[in-house]
Amino acid sequence: MSFQSLGLSEPLLKAISKKGYETPSPIQEKAIPPVLQGRDVLASAQTGTGKTAGFTLPLLHYLSENPKEKFRPIRALILTPTRELAAQVYESVKDYSTFLNIKSAVIFGGVNQKPQVATLRRGVDVLVATPGRLLDLQNQNLLSIKRVEVFVLDEADRMLDMGFLRDIERVMKLMPDKRQNLMFSATFSKDIRKLANSILNNPVQVEATPENSTVDAISQKVYRVAKNKKTGLIIKLISEGNWKQVLVFTRTKHGANRLTKKMVSAGISAAAIHGNKSQGARTKALAGFKNGSVRVMVATDIAARGLDIPLLPHVVNFELPNISEDYVHRIGRTGRAGANGQALSLVSADETSYLKSIEKLIDERIEVEIVEGFEPDPNASTEPIKPGQNRQQGRGNRNSNPRQSSRNKNHASKRKSNNSRRRNDRRN
């Protein structure tokens, strides 16, 4: 299939060929036609599938083929969970509208609102926004979304994980009832389906699994290691392997900072990216990582979500995530566009139960290696994580408090059924 046969206008085809895309990705093939028909769409797709163009191209086609008055009310609103994703989506909107008379803007928190307000005043057709700043400016009467015709909710699952449900509901109330809605999510939990029901009107459902999330394309390995030897091991792996671009995941922001400092002391250029970093620091770290001046980027799950870093050769889980789906998201950052990727996990005794859950989710055993000098501690407890740290997420938690322990049991069984549901969603 070609982009021409999807019925996109000439200026869009020109922009697509300028980007160097030859054929539409599966999600683009599936999503573009119903969006062009004006249908609501529920799409199962994560970063790396080309989903951004999947909604942006037909949206721009519609807006440019149906021009409105010179004063530009916001006609399309794209809501994203993170600032980084908002910035990336905005770059795509700008690129694809190069040859169109369409104005776009991005707004997110953590930076001065003045330049954003000035841009909005000049008139904007397509607004990309994170929920907080959008509502903030709306409360100050600095923008209106009363004329929105197309609403896109990107990475809806992460929106919910980040606690944006109330904000999304507030945003919905500020838009006209009659509009087209497009919702994208990598996973489909009960809550996501509920949200979809409340937003979408008789949606067309489309699905695309990214090439890289078929876990086979990625070589995975687990290093069993003592907790206090993880830093030494990762430094050894990066130095001896001469890895140039490594994305490392830690469970906490403090962990990310600590590891970054140790890497830098060991002579490896590294930067941390997480929610406590200023927008400027995050943008700088990402730019450095992309241009090669920063070899290692240490990130938390939320900060890394949606980052578009093509052809990432190495992903390291310095700590396993306590939510198994996050493992799939993390390793999905490697081996993009058909390149081989390596996903390594440093696993200490207290992460054993997480590893088991992950293997169950991906339906395979991950190869294990032990490096001499970095052996696991045979006396370490297999109790999950340190006390006080995401305690309720731990499984197999032999808690002496009976109320606490029954709560944990509920969590575990609920999560188990969610896991199997999500797995089915992904496969169906």
Contact stretch for ligand AMP (CB under 6 A) within 47-55, 122-130, 136-144, 217-225: 47-55
Q: Does 80 bind ligand AMP (CB under 6 A)?
A: no
Select 8 or 343, whichever has its Cβ closest to ligand AMP.
8
Task: Compute the least distance from the CB of residue 54 to ligand AMP, in Å.
Answer: 7
- Supply angle C-alpha 157, 162, 166, rounded to 5: 90
Q: Does 51 bind ligand AMP (CB under 6 A)?
A: yes
Q: Does 49 bind ligand AMP (CB under 6 A)?
A: yes
Q: How far is CA 214 from the centre of its chain?
A: 17
Select 15 or 238, whichever has its Cβ closest to ligand AMP.
15
Q: Which of 137, 134, 148, 154 is nearest to 80 (CA)?
A: 154
Q: Which of 98, 165, 102 is nearest to 128 (CA)?
A: 102
Q: Does 326 bind ligand AMP (CB under 6 A)?
A: no
- How far apart, in whole angstroms, are the C-alpha atoms of residue 403 and residue 119? 54
- How far apart, in whole angstroms, are the C-alpha atoms of residue 232 and residue 339? 28
Q: Is 91 left (phi over 0), alpha (psi -120 to 50) or beta?
A: alpha
- 138 contacts: CB under 8 Å, gap ≥ 6: 144, 145, 174
- How far apart, in whole angstroms, are the C-alpha atoms of residue 126 and residue 311? 29
Interface with ligand AMP (CB under 6 A), residue from 11, 26, 48, 394: 48
Q: Does 308 bind ligand AMP (CB under 6 A)?
A: yes
Q: Does 50 bind ligand AMP (CB under 6 A)?
A: yes
Interface with ligand AMP (CB under 6 A), residue from 12, 25, 58, 200: 25
- How far apart, in whole angstroms, are the C-alpha atoms of residue 25 and residue 215? 19
- For ligand AMP (CB under 6 A), the number of binding residues is 13
- How far apart, in whole angstroms, are the C-alpha atoms of residue 78 and residue 236? 43
Residues in the chain: 428
Contact stretch for ligand AMP (CB under 6 A) within 33-41, 50-58, 132-140, 157-165: 50-58
Select 145 or 307, whichever has its Cβ closest to ligand AMP.
307
Q: Does 125 bind ligand AMP (CB under 6 A)?
A: no
Q: Does 213 bind ligand AMP (CB under 6 A)?
A: no
Q: Does 321 bind ligand AMP (CB under 6 A)?
A: no
Task: Compute the least distance from the CB of residue 423 to ligand AMP, in Å.
Answer: 21
Residues interacting with ligand AMP, by CB under 6 A?
Answer: 21, 24-25, 28, 47-53, 308, 310
